[in-house]
Amino acid sequence: MFKFFSSIRKEFILLVSDKVGLALMFLMPLLLVFIITIIQDSAYKIVNENEIPMLVVNHDEGNQGNKLLDLLITSRLFKIDTLNSLPEKALKKELLARGKMIALFIPPNFTSGLESNTGEVSHMMMRDFGLETDSAIVKTRDMPALSFYHDPVLQENYSASVMGVIDSYVGVIEKSMMIDRIYADMDMEPKSEKLNEKMAVNRVKINQIIATNGNSVAVPNSTQHNVPAWTIFAMFFMVVSLGSNIVKERVNGSFLRLKTMPTSFMLVMFSKMAIYVVVAISQVALTFSVGIWILPKIGLPELTIPTNFPAFAAVVLISSMAAVSYALLIGALAHTQEQANGFGAISIIIFGAIGGILVPTFVMPEFMQFASNFSPLHWCLEGFYILFLKGGSWHELRWVILFLGVFILICQLCTYIKLRIEKII
């Protein structure tokens, strides 16, 4: 036991003496979590929050422009700023200056154009029905066009969905105008208030249900993505500290010296693993605490911890073991500390990029999504996603545990073989 304690103590002293390694392992994830969460938060808010900020410039000479505006306001999907005095030419500049992502321009002929076209349709219908109307001469005008401006960074599918919403409200107006016109052409009283109300509510509803297992429903936001993602990134970045630590001991002869002593080399490796698993767990504790207590204080979303705590602990542990095993492998393969640091760091950045740390895998092309399966960081992140966003069960975690288990085994086996080849074990 004294031997084990001494070995652990040695590893701890080596760890705390590596100031750069400690900074990379503890300060880097905190900085990344703060910076990236703040940057991404506005984008997540745009996607997830109910009110999308929109600038509306209404130059309509009739009343249908205002009706459209009312419909957009009452939908509660948009937070609308109106600036009717603004000429259309200045709209682009104003949009960017006000920091709005989208703007809608309603042209002066919006009402007159709609009236002209609904009149024409109504006239054709009357003729088809065999009814004569007073409005025999209908002057057709071009269908009015709304202009939708958006920030160039806005994703295409997002713009399309907002345009779809506007289009559906224009459709409501057109339908209402059409019926009004038919009533008028048939010399009937304007349609009743009851019919107006019925038309307003008579729309198919779509119920939105988030597909999670269990009762935990955490809405995806910048915190829920960034805190686990950058924690995993930092866990694997221990390759810089642990990898170079191993190279140093291999190169300076300490490992060979230990081989001449009545001790098991496994004790040495086990001590290293134990210390660095504790480091990884501490990284999780630190960054997750920041996510729970600090981020909400600066206006960012709070991190929601999963309810299945044993599964959460298992994902943390297996992710830590994967990070430690990878660092051991790099330490065993590299010939110099520079190699371990350079290759180790670059490989983690690449694994992080293809693994969905920088951008989620679902936005990647298909072949990159396939490639992400080969990144251990992807599986670690997947484990956290299953727990955080889907309220995951052990059953759902089985592939994560299987892949990471195999990854750990391969890394440990390759490390063992390399150290055997070097006659260290």
Partner 1 sequence: MHKGPSIHIENVTKRYKSAQEDSLSHVTLKINESDVYGLLGPNGAGKTTLISILCGIIPPSQGNISFYIGGVEISGIERRSRLGFVPQEYAFYQELTPRQNLDYFGAMYNLSKGVLSERIGELLDELGLTKVADKVVSTFSGGMKRRVNLAIGLIHKPAVLFLDEPTVGVDVQSKNAIIKYLREINRAGTTIVYTSHHMSEAEEFCNRIALIDHGKVVAEGGMTDLLAENNVSGLQDLFIKLTGEEYRD
Where do contacts with partner 1 occur on this chain (CB under 8 A)? 2-3, 5-7, 9-10, 13-14, 17-18, 249, 252-254, 256-263, 423
Nearer to partner 1, 1 or 136 (CB): 1
Nearer to partner 1, 17 or 157 (CB): 17
Q: How far is the CB of 258 from partner 1 (least distance, A)?
A: 6
**Are 399 and 386 contacting, i.e. CB atoms less than 8 angstroms apart?**
no
**Are 279 and 319 contacting, i.e. CB atoms less than 8 angstroms apart?**
no
Closest CA to 99 of 79, 84, 85: 79
Residue 148: phi, psi to the nearest 5? -110, 115
Nearer to partner 1, 214 or 253 (CB): 253
Q: How far apart, in whole angstroms, are the C-alpha atoms of residue 179 and residue 257?
A: 94
Closest CA to 8 of 276, 402, 238: 276
Element (H, E) at 338: helix 337-354
Q: How far is the CB of 342 from partner 1 (least distance, A)?
A: 21
Nearer to partner 1, 89 or 423 (CB): 423
**Are 272 and 212 contacting, i.e. CB atoms less than 8 angstroms apart?**
no
Nearer to partner 1, 155 or 254 (CB): 254
Nearer to partner 1, 8 or 138 (CB): 8
Q: How far is the CB of 417 from partner 1 (least distance, A)?
A: 15
Q: How far is the CB of 18 from partner 1 (least distance, A)?
A: 8
**Are 311 and 397 contacting, i.e. CB atoms less than 8 angstroms apart?**
yes
Provide DSSP, 232-264: HHHHHTTIIIIIHHHHHHHHTTHHHHHHTSSS-
Nearer to partner 1, 85 or 260 (CB): 260
Q: How far is the CB of 6 from partner 1 (least distance, A)?
A: 4
Closest CA to 71 of 165, 156, 3, 150: 165
Q: How far is the CB of 242 from partner 1 (least distance, A)?
A: 14
